[in-house]
């Protein structure tokens, strides 16, 4: 079987960086799961003894604690450093640190703050926590949510959750521009998610079968799968090589492979190897 990998797939820059950091701190622990992939968390535990804390109360004095890619709220970080006296290794993605710092600076300069994103997402909780006046930091998911907001100022600064869609951000920003004197728009959306999607779209047009590797509960992986199905009806979503089924590949010549943002390279490589073997057996 001829295998073609998408031109962009799997981990983004921030996740690759966080894993490298974790690998270099043996016997440490991450605050919350480093990524949404249990196989990779197990590998870090088995090979580097990197553990997992789910709350501050589990942290012991002098522990080395790794902050994961999407960051944590300001107060939690402070508690970790001061009250717990832990050694804190910050693996927050630089693309997430940026909106945190923007919110801090802009609220100090008396701008009302608008965050486009999901208020329950850890990244957004972290970014929001950097506002000086928490009552004037507003989180919206769509332009409709703006109606409910009373901004303190007519100068608004906006940031977006890194994985959000630009089109929706522009809709929100446009509505604000029409109603306010100044809107200071920071483009904090990261292209990584969309690069994987664009590459999957292109590849799925030129293959007989498409394999999408990632968590079945991961919204990002499900979106990749939906995009592939638009162009290639034989598109399958699997979590690892064990789920491959030989009969899928009957009479197929080219197999495209892509992977969600939380899928490690070694899992992808196992899939590639197994699919290539089918070549010989039909």
Q: Which residues are annotated as a binding site?
A: 12, 36, 70, 93, 121, 162, 190, 218-220, 262
Report, in Å, the least distance between residue 142 CB and its own copies: 17
Q: Which is nearer to its own copies, 192 or 272 (CB)?
A: 192
For the record, the structure tokens of 38 come out as: 């249990």
> What are the distances in angstroms from CA 197 to CA 82, 112, 268?
42, 33, 17
Q: Which of 26, 133, 182, 243 binds its own copies (CB under 8 A)?
A: 182
- Examine residue 180 and tell whether it contacts its own copies (CB under 8 A): yes
CA 213 distance to own-chain centroid: 16
> What are the distances in angstroms from CA 65 to CA 2, 50, 53?
44, 10, 9
Which strands, in side-by-side order, build the sheet including 87-90?
51-53, 29-31, 64-67, 87-90
Catalytic residues, by residue number, are 123
Q: Which is nearer to its own copies, 189 or 213 (CB)?
A: 189
Report, in Å, the least distance between residue 181 CB and its own copies: 6
- Examine residue 127 and tell whether it contacts its own copies (CB under 8 A): no
Q: What are the two backbone dihedrals, phi and then psi, of residue 54, each rounded to the nearest 5 degrees?
A: -105, -15
Report, in Å, the least distance between residue 176 CB and its own copies: 9
Q: Which of residues 148-177 bind its own copies (CB under 8 A)?
A: 166, 169-170, 173-174, 177
Q: Which is nearer to its own copies, 185 or 200 (CB)?
A: 185
| Number of neighbouring beta carbons within 10 Å of residue 66 | 25
Looking at 129-137, 178-186, 239-247, 263-271, which segment touches its own copies (CB under 8 A)? 178-186
CA 39 distance to own-chain centroid: 17
Question: Which residues are documented as binding site for dimethylallyl diphosphate?
Answer: 36, 70, 121, 218-220, 262
Q: Which is nearer to its own copies, 12 or 185 (CB)?
A: 185
Report, in Å, the least distance between residue 116 CB and its own copies: 12
Q: Which is nearer to its own copies, 174 or 273 (CB)?
A: 174
The size of the interface with its own copies (CB under 8 A), counted in residues, is: 15
- Examine residue 93 and tell whether it contacts its own copies (CB under 8 A): no
What CA–CA distance (Å, rounded) separates 150 from 217? 36
Q: What are the two backbone dihedrals, phi and then psi, of residue 263, each rounded to the nearest 5 degrees?
A: -95, 120
Can you name the residues that pair with 53 across neighbouring β-strands?
31
Q: Which of 61, 82, 148, 181 binds its own copies (CB under 8 A)?
A: 181
- Examine residue 184 and tell whether it contacts its own copies (CB under 8 A): yes
Assign 259 to helix, strand or coil: strand
- Examine residue 186 and tell whether it contacts its own copies (CB under 8 A): yes
C-beta of residue 112 within 8 angstroms of C-beta of residue 155: yes
Can you name the residues that pair with 137 across neighbouring β-strands?
113
Closest CA to 237 of 218, 252, 216: 216
Report, in Å, the least distance between residue 49 CB and its own copies: 39
With the CA atoms of 19, 25, 30 and 31 taken in that order, what torsion angle do they form, in degrees rounded to the nearest 10? -120
Q: What are the residues binding its own copies (CB under 8 A)?
A: 166, 169-170, 173-174, 177-178, 180-187
């Amino acid at each position: 079987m001829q295998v073609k990998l998408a031109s962009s797939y799997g981990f983004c820059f921030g996740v690759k960086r966080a894993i490298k950091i974790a690998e270099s701190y043996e016997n440490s622990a991450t605050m919350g799961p480093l990524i949404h992939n249990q196989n990779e968390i197990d590998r870090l535990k088995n090979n580097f003894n990197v553990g997992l804390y789910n709350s501050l109360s589990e942290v012991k004095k002098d522990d080395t604690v790794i902050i994961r890619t999407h960051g944590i709220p300001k107060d939690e970080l402070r508690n970790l450093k001061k009250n717990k006296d832990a050694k804190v290794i910050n693996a927050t993605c630089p693309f997430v640190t940026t909106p945190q710092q923007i919110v801090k600076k802009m609220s100090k300069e008396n701008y009302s703050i608008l965050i486009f994103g999901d208020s329950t997402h850890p990244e957004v909780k972290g970014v929001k926590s950097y506002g000086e006046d928490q009552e004037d930091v507003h989180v919206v998911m769509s332009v409709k949510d703006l109606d409910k907001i009373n901004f303190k100022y007519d100068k608004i600064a906006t940031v977006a959750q890194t994985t959000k869609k630009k089109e929706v951000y522009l809709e929100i920003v446009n509505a604000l521009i029409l109603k306010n004197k100044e809107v200071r728009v920071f483009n904090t959306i990261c292209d990584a998610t969309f690069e994987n999607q664009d590459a999957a779209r292109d590849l799925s047009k030129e293959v007989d079968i498409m394999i999408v590797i990632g968590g079945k509960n991961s919204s990002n992986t499900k979106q990749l799968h939906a995009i592939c199905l638009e162009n290639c009806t034989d598109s399958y979503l699997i979590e690892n090589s064990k789920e491959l089924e030989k009969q899928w590949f009957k009479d197929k010549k080219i197999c495209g492979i892509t992977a969600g943002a939380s899928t490690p390279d070694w899992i992808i490589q196992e899939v590639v190897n197994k699919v290539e073997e089918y070549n010989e057996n039909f």
